Structure formats: C-alpha cells, structure tokens
Amino acid sequence: MALSKQNGFGPADPKRRRALKEMAMYAAGTAGVAAAITGFAAQSRSLPAETLRPPGALPEPDFQSACVRCGLCVRACPYDTLKLAEFGDGPAIGTPYFIARQVPCEMCDDIPCVKACPTGALDHALTNIEKARMGEASLVGRDACLNMLGLRCDVCYRVCPVIDEAITLQITHNARTNKHAIFEPVVHPDACTGCGKCEKSCVLEVAAIRVLPKKLTKGEIGDHYRLGWEEKNKAGKELVPDVIDLPDRLPSTTPDVAPPELSTIPGLGKSGAGQ
C-alpha cells in the first residue's frame, strides 16, 4: 500500500482513484446520453400512415442513416409538395415528407428532388418516375366511395398519371338496383407509384382512396410457402407423378336450380312478402 502510494500507482493513490472515478462517471454519462438518443431515435423510426417520403426514398430505417435533413429536395420541388418535418409532425425531425391529401407529388419527368439530394437518401438510381414507389393507393373507404355506391365518379381513376395501369375500373353487378353496374376503382400495386393524386382528388369529404406507406399495404407469403403451379413450371413436369387428373367441374351456363328470390328468404328482401 505504502509502496503504491509512493510511486503514484495502484488503486490506493487518491489522484489516480479520483481520475478513475471521473473516467467512470464520464463513461457512464456517455452511455446514458447514447441510450437517451437511441431511445429518442427509436420513437421516430416508423412513419405515420398519412405521411409519405419523396420519390426514390430509401426504405425507412436506411433513410434515417442517409438523409442529412438539408432540405435540398424540398427546394427542388416545383410544386411545393415536400415539407421538412417539424417536431411533432411524425416523421423524424427535419426529414422530408408529404401528405397526399394536401399536396400530392406531380411525378416530374426529370425528378428534380432526387437529383438535388446530395447524399442519395433519395436513390439516384431512380430515373423513371413511374418506377417510384412512394406508397400505395388503396380504396380503404370502400363503403363511402361514390363508384361503389353505383354512381359514376371515376375522379381518382381519371387523375391517375398511370391511368389504366395503376388504377382500373372493374365492372361488377350492382346488387342494389339489380340492373346497373358498379365501376369499382381497383389499384394495382405493381404499377401504383404512390403519388397521391387520387387521394388528393377524391371528391368525398374524407377521401375513400388513400395512399399509405408500402409497409402498411404489403402482404407477404411465408418463406416456406410454395406455389404448386410455379414449382411445376420450374420443374418442367408433374411434381407428384401418376396423379389422376379428374376433369374440373366448370359451372354450367344454365343453372340447374334457379337461385332463390331474395324476398323469399325470411328476414331478407322487402318486408312482409308473405303478409
């Protein structure tokens, strides 16, 4: 003990002990600050459903390692679509986003926002704006959509910059009138850019068609799942040989039994059919 004191080494040396203590305090503080920021960062990891990233934006976790929050994309956008997030807006503070219902992306041919991005947070590999996937439109408010009610609104369909590819009108039977058609707006995820024009233009008080971040719209089949017909094509032959293939029973054009009238089913159709 005395020796270690003399040569200024060893744990008993008060100077050294103080220095060690201080060091430990700072290290703990550092870890604390790092942990606090880490927690704070975790909070702003996911994007709220109504906010969309600019064209070419990297997927959300990567985007936050890439975007320096400079606002050059915001400045480059001729339509003032993009905004930088304020504290409380939802997206990580300072990062660019837009809200389709307010100002959608006009899908500029030359994509100036992507070109302006110095870091590549907006991926410079995106050169064809129709390849952008900012989100995906979805008719989430089906029951309110005028077309679904049997009217002909079609506005979302007509404004779509990728009309007839990203969005089509699918004709189905109108069960209410029993003689008209319903022109259902159907979005095709493989072509929808998520520009938000449809949501912006929906004539309803609250848009029936909404553009949501891909994360919220995308379904995914489990890894282990195999689709028989694809496997068959890959193999180029029957996967289970010698299975007797029975002929499929196709619906005949003239039904054997007429479907029951709605009014004959109790509790359905016009009230008091039998009274």
Partner 1 sequence: MSVKRNPGLEARQQLGWFKANKWLLARRATQLGFFLLFATGPLLGIWIAKGTLASSMTFDVLPLTDPLVLLQSLLAGFQPESLALIGAGIVLGAYLLIGGRVYCSWVCPINPVTDLAAWTRRKLDIKKGWNIKPKTRLWVLGAILLASVLTGTIAFELINPITTLYRGLLFGLTWGLVTILLIFLFDVFVTRNGWCGHICPVGAFYGLVNTTGLLRVSARGRHRCDDCMDCYAVCPEMHVIAPALNGTGRDETPIITNIDCTACGRCIDVCPERVFNFTHRFDQRLDPPPAPKPLAARGDLVKAA
Closest CB 206 distance from ligand SF4, rounded Å: 10
Q: How far is CA 12 from the centre of its chain?
A: 61
- The SS3 assignment for 33 reads helix
In the set 12, 68, 262, 273, which binds partner 1 (CB under 8 A)?
68
> What Cα–Cα distance (Å) separates residue 238 from each residue in 163, 224, 232, 233?
40, 20, 6, 9
Q: Is 122 helix (H, G, I), strand (E, B) or coil?
A: strand
Residue of the chain from 8, 11, 61, 274 that contacts partner 1 (CB under 8 A): 61
42 binds, among ligand SF4, partner 1, none (CB under 5 to 8 A by kind): partner 1
What CA–CA distance (Å, rounded) separates 49 from 210?
Answer: 10
Q: Does 29 bind partner 1 (CB under 8 A)?
A: yes
Query: 136: helix, coil or strand?
Result: strand
In the complex, which residues of this chain contact ligand SF4 (CB under 6 A)? 54-55, 67-73, 76-77, 79, 81-82, 96, 105-108, 111-113, 116-117, 119, 121-122, 129, 137, 139, 145-147, 153-156, 160-162, 166-167, 185, 187, 192-198, 202-204, 208-209, 211
CA distance 102 to 147: 23
Q: Are 203 and 156 in contact (CB under 8 A)?
A: no
d(CA 81, CA 99) in angstroms, rounded, equals 8
CB of 84 to partner 1, least distance (A): 5
Q: Minimum Å distance from CB 124 to ligand SF4?
A: 10
Exactly one of 17, 21, 75, 232 binds partner 1 (CB under 8 A); that residue is 75
Give the separation between CA 77 and CA 69, rounded to whole angstroms.
15
Which pair of structure tokens corresponds to residue 70?
Answer: 């400079």
CA distance 103 to 261: 49
Site string for partner 1, 93-112 (x = CB under 8 A): xx------------------
- Rounded to a whole number of angstroms, the minimum distance from the CB of residue 11 to partner 1 is 22
Closer to ligand SF4 by Cβ: residue 99 or 129: 129
Torsions phi, psi of 238, nearest 5?
Answer: -55, 135
Cα separation, 198 vs 243, whole angstroms = 49
The entry of ligand SF4, partner 1, none near residue 167 (CB within 5 to 8 angstroms by kind) is ligand SF4
| Nearer to partner 1 among residue 69 and residue 142 (C-beta) | 69
Which helix (H) or strand (E) is 35 found in, with range? Answer: helix 14-43
By rule CB under 8 A, what count of residues binds partner 1? 42
Instruction: Provide the terminal-to-terminal Cα distance of the chain, rounded to the nearest Å.
Output: 109
Closest separation between CB of residue 192 and partner 1, Å?
Answer: 27
Interface residues toward partner 1, by CB under 8 A: 26-27, 29-34, 37-38, 40-42, 44, 61-62, 64-72, 74-76, 83-84, 86-88, 92-94, 116-120, 124
